[in-house]
Amino acid sequence: MGEDDLEEFRAFVMARSASMIRSAWLMTGSEATAQDLVQSALLTTWQRWSTLRDQKAAEAYTRRVVVTTYVSWRRRRAFHERPTQTVPDLAADDLVGRAELRHDVAAALALLSPRQRAVIALRYLDQLTEAETAAALGCSIGTVKTQAARAIARLRASPALDLDPRRVPR
Amino acid sequence: MTDTQGWHEIFEVAVPAVSPLDPDLILAHAPPERQHARLRLVPIMATITAVAIIAAVLTVVLPRPGSKSAPSADNARQDYAALVLRPGDRVDAWGSIYSPDGRSARFCDPDEGVATAPRESLRCYFSVPITGVDLHRLADRQVRGREIRGWAHVDGFWTGTGVRVRRQTAALPAAERPDPQLPTACTPPPAGWPQQSQVGPITYGPLEAYARAHPGTVIVPSVYFPGPDQKVVFALVAGDAEPARRILERAYHGSVCVVASRYTRAQADAAAAAFFGHISKLITGGQGSDVSRAGQLQVTVQAVLVTPELAHRAERQPVGLVHLDPWLSP
């Protein structure tokens, strides 16, 4: 691959990796693991770069790799998730309200299956359509709907996540 | 508000802002030839010692410090052609300076470089060549091998391919994250915005109920905090805003602002696709459906600079919908 490919890939990583890490954070609950996951997926994307010529295709492919890698890490038990009692990856300057919400969201998400967490991240953080989410997960739209409904029902029932909007800080 | 939007807002707040990854760190792990063996990457957090404070998160558009073109404008017609940088134009901007070898240098868009976590290289990506810069007069100057990077405020001119420095000041960015301000279209009731402690907690419930009963009406829901104990639910609605306003003002005891949208969601999506649908070395960030200071849909495009092609692309969109926010502008 040539210098143009390198520059395009660099621009793609700079522009989109932060968004993908945030999505992976919802799946893993850990910024460090999310970064490893996205880095790993982007390496795979780079190896396919010559066939992924536009940002949408590259992003869709990378998200697919993120999800499949995340699920496979969980299967291999190489990924150790802690249903957290402490706030993960808390920045020192965080507002208290934001930190509490982050803690509670992480605790509530720990109750979900890997696929449900992936659906939540793609549908509700990244705001992908059901079709795009299905493509990223490699499943049918019906499965996305079912998984999303079950995940949301579990989150609503989670004692960790009080959904009073007053708790959503600005 | 739909269920999706409500959850999106919760997750958007809960998930921390992060820095983009270093592309060269990824490329350093790529095998020279394609192979099927699975690679084990070194967890990159092991190399990261600082917490990124400000991240290039595309979903949040913040005004750039020193930006001549604030992102949350009022949907007034923007003169895109006047933003095009042409040879001889004066450039007055701050950013980081990167030199790979202590001689040549690039001027880096601050959107990329503010307080990002340390990387293997000091290199930046969204940048233009710069000449006449003193590499010894940089704020927060870092040296790694032959590489140098630091911050400067630069007064110079655009040569057509880069910046030629006339004056330079070592200056650190004064990045501030302002609170979103209530759109100017939202006027408070005569007695001011109600206090939550007096009217009770303000929730999304009534807006959700309205959106469910009137599908497709609520284009953008949001919430603002104009003062202590004050919370105002904002709804940008399609068509006539009066029916929604009547119902929601009753439900919210006045703590609501309903604005009729000038643009459709489809128009905003099409405009966003025109700018964000392709890989670009000029576009550094943006927001597909921002709410402007006027309380209208706005597609904000942050770019290194505006080319005639970029300006033309903006001109093809509905008037006032696209806001170009270049780092370098005349």
Test A170 with B57 for CB contact under 8 angstroms.
no
Is pLDDT above 60 for A97? Answer: no
| Lowest mean pLDDT segment, chosen from A142-146, B182-186, B260-264 | A142-146
Chain A CA closest to residue B31: A47
Nearest to B26 among A11, A42, A101 (CB): A42
Contacts with B301 (C-beta within 8 Å, 6 or more apart), sequence order: B275, B276, B283, B286, B310, B314, B322, B323, B324, B325
Confidence of residue B49 (pLDDT cuts 50, 70, 90): very low
Which pLDDT belongs to residue B25? 79
Q: What percent of chain B has pLDDT over 90?
A: 29
> Across A96-110, B91-105, B164-178, which has the greatest mean pLDDT?
B91-105
For B133-139, what is the mean pLDDT?
Answer: 93
Q: Which helix (H) or strand (E) holds A6?
A: helix A3-28
Which pLDDT belongs to residue B41? 29
Whole-angstrom Cα distance, residue B192 to residue B230? Answer: 10
- Pick the more confident residue, A138 or B274: B274
Is pLDDT above 70 for A34? Answer: yes
Q: Is B129 helix (H, G, I), strand (E, B) or coil?
A: strand
Which pLDDT belongs to residue A101? 72
Q: The whole model's pTM is what?
A: 0.57
The label of the residue with tokens 């989150």 reads A155
Question: Are the beta carbons of B290 and B74 closer than 8 angstroms?
Answer: no
Which pLDDT belongs to residue B26? 82
Residue B74 corresponds to which tokens in the numbers above?
């009022």
Q: What does the pLDDT look like over A151-166, one tens digit per residue?
A: 888 887 776 665 544 4
Q: What does the pLDDT look like over A58-95, one tens digit per residue?
A: 888 888 888 887 876 654 433 333 333 333 333 333 44
**Number of CB atoms found within 10 A of residue B120's CB:** 12
What's chain A's average pLDDT? 74
Which pLDDT belongs to residue A3? 77
Test A18 with B44 for CB contact under 8 angstroms.
no
Residue A148 at interface with chain B, using a CB cutoff of 8 Å: no
The CA distances from residue A161 to A100, A108, A166, B97, B113, in Å, are 10, 6, 12, 45, 35
Nearest to B277 among A56, A123, A155 (CB): A56
Question: Are the beta carbons of A26 and A33 closer than 8 angstroms?
Answer: no
Test A43 with B13 for CB contact under 8 angstroms.
no
Tell me the chain B residues in contact with residue A148 when contact means C-beta distances shorter than 8 Å.
none
Chain A CA closest to residue B125: A11
Query: Of chain A residues 59-88, which have a CB less than 8 A from chain B?
Result: none
Give me the amino acid identity at B287. Answer: Q
* Probe site for chain B from A124, A132, A133, A166 (most B CB atoms < 10 A): A124
| Lowest mean pLDDT segment, chosen from B119-123, B181-185, B244-248, B312-316 | B119-123
Is pLDDT above 80 for B229? Answer: no
Nearest to A101 among B14, B25, B27 (CB): B14
Query: Of chain B residues 222-281, which have a CB less than 8 A from chain A?
Result: 223-225, 231, 276-281
**Nearest 5°: phi and psi at B289?**
-145, 65
Residue B298 at interface with chain A, using a CB cutoff of 8 Å: no
